[in-house]
């Protein structure tokens, strides 16, 4: 199956891999970027010069450009969502564009007669603000927005996905909707414009962190995630479905050990020690991004992606390969100097 699909946020890490796979499989791809001044740069990064990829200027917070971007499309993959690597001034800086962007994309998709709409959500909308950590979280779970420990990013993803689902119930008509909920996304970078999830690997191998706090995350490879999006766009009968995309949960020191085991001398700057919780809390007084995740110290939030296996036969590659491929690409592209 191939047709015309809109992939939002075309300059982003996940969207880049998704666009490349869709084009390989014969799709015509429309994609949004904030400024068409970046088109040449993004084309070069993706290695796609021809008319099978078309760019449109559109922003999550403005109607301009969206009707043109989705015109003629039968499918939409709404990947764009704000995820800054550092601290933010106010949680609404994430929540409002995430929610409004999802609703805007849905509205224009329905008006254009789109058949299938796939939203990139997150396990952040599933597993956070909860204390029932004795089992893996599934697609039936939702993050608890009433918890004082929920940071702005999980709030933004939870609110955006719930808003999209509520909108679909009230206004979706014949358009089908499903969500993909990935964990931390790793894998080879295509350029210096990469996912915020990769910042941890970068800082581990460039020596800019003195040690590892007791924090962790589940991991999914960007190549596997792109493949899951393609399946969600094309397999029939997925209305209102939700799919976790994740491998196993790793603590940061485990990632460090994998890097040391597999990178050899290139991992000489990877720290070997852990940072005690009291020291992490002290550092967080001066580091806003760390302050947001203090409530996660020592917590293991495993998630279960067996539903994607059952429906699609989808599986992830070994997590160790994803971590090492991430590091190697950062080194090979000169983003990290060894």
Render pLDDT for 285-295 as a digit per residue (tens, 0 to 9). Answer: 887 777 778 88
Q: Kind of pairing, strands 116-120 and 75-78?
A: parallel
Q: Which residue stretches of the chain have pLDDT < 50?
A: none
Neighbouring residues of 334: CB distance < 8 A, sequence distance ≥ 6: none
Render pLDDT for 171-224 as a digit per residue (tens, 0 to 9). Answer: 999 999 999 999 999 999 998 878 888 999 999 999 998 999 999 999 999 999
Judge whether 131 and 111 are in contact, CB under 8 Å: no
CA 34 from centroid of its chain's CA atoms: 18
User: Hey, which residues does 179 pair with through a beta bridge?
Assistant: 119, 242
Alpha-carbon distance of 202 to 204, in angstroms, equals 5
Q: Kind of pairing, strands 184-186 and 4-7?
A: unpaired
pLDDT of residue 126: 98
Alpha-carbon distance of 325 to 317, in angstroms, equals 11
Residue-range domains of the chain with CATH: 4-332 (3.40.50.720)
What tokens does 121 get?
């959500």
pLDDT of residue 290: 77
pLDDT of residue 6: 98
What tokens does 305 get?
């992606």
Distances (CA, A) of 74 to 29, 54, 316: 11, 15, 28
The structure's pTM equals 0.95
């Amino acid at each position: 199956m191939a047709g015309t699909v809109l992939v939002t946020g075309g300059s982003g890490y996940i969207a880049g891999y998704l666009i490349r796979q869709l084009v390989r499989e014969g799709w015509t791809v429309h994609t949004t970027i904030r400024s068409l001044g970046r088109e040449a740069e993004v084309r070069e990064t993706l290695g796609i010069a021809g008319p099978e990829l078309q760019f449109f200027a559109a922003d999550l917070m403005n109607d301009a450009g969206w009707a043109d971007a989705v015109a003629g499309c039968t499918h939409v993959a709404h990947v764009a969502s704000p995820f800054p690597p550092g601290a933010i001034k106010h949680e609404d800086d994430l929540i409002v564009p995430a929610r409004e962007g999802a609703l805007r994309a849905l509205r224009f998709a329905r008006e254009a007669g789109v058949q299938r709409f796939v939203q990139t959500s997150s396990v952040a909308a599933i597993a956070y603000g909860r204390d029932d950590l004795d089992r893996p979280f599934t697609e039936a779970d939702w993050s608890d927005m009433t918890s004082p420990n929920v940071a702005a990013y999980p709030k933004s993803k939870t609110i955006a996905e719930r808003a999209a689902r509520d909108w679909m119930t009230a206004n979706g008509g014949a358009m089908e909707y499903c969500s993909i909920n990935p964990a931390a996304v790793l894998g080879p970078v295509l350029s210096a414009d990469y996912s915020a999830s990769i910042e941890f690997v970068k800082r581990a191998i460039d020596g800019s962190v003195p040690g590892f706090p007791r924090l962790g995350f589940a991991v999914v490879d960007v190549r596997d995630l792109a493949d899951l999006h393609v399946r969600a766009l094309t397999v029939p009968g997925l209305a209102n479905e939700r799919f976790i995309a994740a491998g196993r949960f790793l603590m940061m020191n485990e990632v460090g050990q994998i890097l040391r085991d597999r990178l050899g001398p290139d991992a000489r700057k990877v720290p070997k020690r852990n940072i005690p919780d009291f020291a992490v809390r002290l550092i967080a007084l001066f580091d806003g991004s760390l302050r947001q995740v203090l409530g996660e110290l020592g917590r293991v939030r495993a998630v279960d992606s067996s539903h994607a296996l059952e429906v699609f036969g989808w599986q992830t590659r070994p997590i160790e390969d994803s971590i090492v491929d991430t590091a190697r690409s950062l080194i090979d592209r000169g983003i990290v100097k060894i």
